Amino acid sequence: MTDLIKMTGIGKSFAGIVALQDASLAIRPGEVHAIIGQNGAGKSTLIKILTGVYRRDAGDVQMNGTPLAITTPREAQDAGIATIYQELSLVPLRSVTENVVMGYEPRTRLGLIDWKAAHARTREILARFGVDVDVTRQLGSYSTAIQQLVAIARAVSLDAKLVIMDEATSSLDDQEIETLFSVVKGLKASGVAVLYISHFLNELYQICDRVTIMRDGQTVATHDVAETTKLGLVSEMLGRDASEIQAAGLTALSGGHGEPGEVLLEAKGLRSKSGLRDASFTIRKREIVGLGGLLGSGRTEAARAVFGLDALSDGQVRHHSGAALDTPAQAIALGMGFLTEDRKADGIIPHMSVRENITLALLPKLTRMGAVDRERERKLVAHYIEALQIKTSGMEQPIRELSGGNQQKVLLARWLALEPEILILDEPTRGVDVGAKFEIQSIIRKQVADGLAVLLISSEFEELVEGADRIVVLQDGRSVSELQNPGITEGALIGAIAHHHERSAA
């Protein structure tokens, strides 16, 4: 069978730094093909060459056996290659219809846009996905899941032969992912190939036929997914021995071994407008407390309430010092930190350097008589770059140039530099590649061994099960049960969540 797309010997450098070297990729018609690899492995560069965003320095691209010369995104679209980027591929201010038909609008005989036909076509395509929305409304007024589906609708309306999905599920909940997967299966059934990029290995096994692994700008291997194991894939991605990884566990947190200390914080019967009804838990020194539950169960809300971000309508948060804890400023003064879920919106300041981003919250402490103690600042920053193995060309490099995993490490460093007693981590490894995830988890574990208390929120069961010393299971804003490590299995956690759901349904 001829490959739909065949890329061979692709090379690309940016300002002398090699991003791709002899990379290759072959996609068959109508298959779902995954690309995996750590951040910086060259996945996005390879895809951007295919979609005309970058031009290759070397190599050959063929479509159905004939050479393909694509230099702009438009040419790629016209050739039948549609891309759904994680972000910035749609215009949220404009209507759903406009986002689907933009650039390819149906025309009336006068050459003007035929809005009636455009709306009808958009409605018809979305209906095929089981989505029924008002297509004249602003795209931005709909959920991320709908927006993703609209992006796919655009691809379908352009008669794409290949749909590239870059981290398509990273901001969707389980049910939305199900819908997305059924759409992917539908595309496949109608002969459209899908190139799927994801950090979640589980997804691969659910919908992908073949997988290509990349590392350091090169293609390592391509396998049939059915013939691979998760461990094998991870070892190929990291370039490490499988047995070595197995010994360490798939995550580096491994909870339940330390001896927790005294109670630092006690939350009792929390109730808030944000959705908490009756949540109680304690956090002790030297332990990681996980908050488990489905999306909307009140995990983030509980953390926000403890940090003084949301007002309580009932219940109380008691700090061991006896001091009041009603505002984030008080929380920080009491030695608490909160690494939020959305690092783009709440965390990094893109134009500032790594150094400035690390010491932002610390400046008051570094200031002596109105001037920042530069020497101490530099020493501190150097220490964290070293300790957290932040990959940067220097502490003055703007943070926006770092990969997602390294940005996350910088944020972690920002909080650790404050030497907190309690650190709240909301999805600390989301959108971070497997290698950096591993590193971030070991840093956290090490800090905990030194006395830090962590409140961990994660939608990955694996991270919770292996990482937390205890897991407090939340459901509809109530804490319903508590599991103790060692001994928690993914099955046990899912069971605990499901069990209470059944009971509440009955």
Residues forming contacts to another protein in the complex (CB under 8 A) are 53, 72-78, 83, 85, 88-95, 97-98, 102-103, 105, 111-113, 115-116, 119, 136-137, 141, 154
In the bound state with another protein, the residue whose beta carbon lies nearer, of 111 and 487, is 111
- The least CB distance from residue 70 to another protein, in Å, is 11
Q: Which two tokens stand for residue 487?
A: 């001994």
In the bound state with another protein, the residue whose beta carbon lies nearer, of 39 and 97, is 97
Q: Residue 153 and residue 124: Cα distance in Å, rounded? A: 10
CA 331 from centroid of its chain's CA atoms: 27
Residue pointed to by tokens 């002790």 = 284
- The least CB distance from residue 125 to another protein, in Å, is 16
What are the backbone dihedrals phi and psi of residue 34, each rounded to the nearest 5 degrees, phi first?
Answer: -100, 145
Nearest Cα to 302, choosing from 332, 346, 256, 268? Answer: 268
In the bound state with another protein, the residue whose beta carbon lies nearer, of 77 and 475, is 77
- The least CB distance from residue 78 to another protein, in Å, is 8
CA 444 from centroid of its chain's CA atoms: 18
SS3 (DSSP) at 115: helix
Residue pointed to by tokens 């490959």 = 3
Q: Which two tokens stand for residue 39?
A: 């951040």
In the bound state with another protein, the residue whose beta carbon lies nearer, of 93 and 311, is 93
- The least CB distance from residue 278 to another protein, in Å, is 29
In the bound state with another protein, the residue whose beta carbon lies nearer, of 67 and 111, is 111
What's the angle, vertex CA 80, arms to CA 144 and CA 224, rounded to 5? 75
- The least CB distance from residue 74 to another protein, in Å, is 3
Q: Residue 398 and residue 332: Cα distance in Å, rounded? A: 26
- The least CB distance from residue 406 to another protein, in Å, is 22
In the bound state with another protein, the residue whose beta carbon lies nearer, of 137 and 379, is 137
SS3 (DSSP) at 34: strand
Instruction: Count CB atoms within 10 A of the CB of residue 307.
Output: 22
- The least CB distance from residue 10 to another protein, in Å, is 21
Q: Which two tokens stand for residue 108?
A: 């009336």
Hey, what amino acid is at 252? A
In the bound state with another protein, the residue whose beta carbon lies nearer, of 89 and 218, is 89
Q: What is the DSSP letter of 24?
A: E
